[in-house]
Structures are given as C-alpha cells and as structure tokens.
C-alpha cells in the first residue's frame, strides 16, 4: 500500500512543539492531473539569500519494494525565487520507512540562491513527492538490508 503517514509524536517533538502535531496535513495532490504530492510547512520559515535550511517534514511514506519516492522542489520556487534542494533530488527507498534511526522521517534541505528572502508561511506547499517505479539489472544480487536512516546505505554492510 502506497501512503504517507505522520511520524510519531516522539520523532516529531525532536524538531517541533508537540502542540503542532494535530495541525499539519499529510501531503496531497492539488489537482487531478498533478504528479506530485505537495508537502506543507508545519511552521513558517524564511531562508535568506545564500542560506541553507533543513526542514523536517513530519512525514514518512510506505510503498512497494520496486518503487521510490522522489522529493523535488516545486517548479515555481526555482523559477520565481531561485530556491533549490541542496541535493537537487531526494531519493527515498521503501526500506527507509520505519528505520531504526528516525522512523523514516523525511527531511528536506533548501538553499536560497536568489537575492531576496524566501518566505514560506505555515501551511504553504514547499516541496513535492512523486512516486515512481524503478528497474534493476537482471543479474542483481544485493542481499544486505538497511540498518539506519539518512546516509546509512553508504556505510560498510554486514550481511
């Protein structure tokens, strides 16, 4: 089943006041032809020119083993404000969900390369997630499993 969930209140409270937990919405498509699910700001934030800001989304996602979730900046943010994701595209694999480090909590890092403050109000859409299938090589034989969260697949594996 493909779906978004809120992270636990314990994970959420590492970044936000617990009183905000019931106030934010899960990602959603805004039109019937939208490819992306918009992510909404739990709190307002400002990114000054040249600044990088890490934004905890409050979300995790579950989906099929042959799928991935791409996190992308909304097109208008790049065109209008010169705001980009610092990693350009976030790739979330299915085994990121409920990992031991952070439950699969997705974080986004945005950089303002423009010349004006970039202001996001509480509830504004600031990132989008797109689910897609992926293919693997016929002779693929990976047997290791994810142990942790962000960056964990680059660590030495113990099978």
The DSSP output letter for 79 is H
**Residues with Cβ within 8 Å of residue 22, at least 6 apart in sequence:** none
Residue 156 placed within a domain: no
Residue 51 placed within a domain: yes
Tell me the pLDDT tens digit for each residue of 139-154: 988 877 767 655 655 5
The enclosing domain of 102 has a CATH number of: 2.70.40.10
How many domains does one find in the chain?
1
Tell me the pLDDT tens digit for each residue of 20-78: 999 999 999 999 999 999 999 999 999 999 999 999 999 999 999 999 999 999 988 98
For residue 60, give its domain range: 3-134
Residue 110's CB is within 10 A of a number of other CB atoms, namely: 21
pTM of the model: 0.87
- Residue pair 24/42 in contact (Cβ under 8 Å)? The answer is yes
- Residue pair 125/40 in contact (Cβ under 8 Å)? The answer is yes
């Amino acid at each position: 089943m493909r779906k978004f969930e809120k992270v636990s209140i314990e994970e959420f409270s590492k970044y936000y006041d617990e009183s905000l937990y019931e106030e934010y919405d899960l990602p959603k498509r805004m039109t019937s032809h939208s490819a992306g699910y918009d992510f909404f700001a739990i709190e307002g934030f400002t990114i000054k020119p040249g600044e990088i800001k890490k934004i905890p989304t409050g979300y995790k996602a579950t989906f099929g083993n042959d799928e991935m979730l791409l996190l992308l900046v909304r097109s208008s943010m790049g065109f209008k404000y010169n705001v980009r994701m610092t990693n350009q595209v976030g790739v979330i694999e299915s085994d990121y969900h409920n990992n031991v480090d952070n439950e699969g909590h997705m974080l986004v890092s945005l950089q303002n390369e423009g010349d004006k403050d970039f202001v996001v109000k509480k509830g504004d859409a600031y990132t989008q997630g797109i689910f897609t299938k992926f293919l693997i090589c016929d002779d693929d034989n990976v047997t290791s499993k994810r142990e942790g969260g962000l960056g964990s697949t680059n660590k030495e594996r113990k099978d």
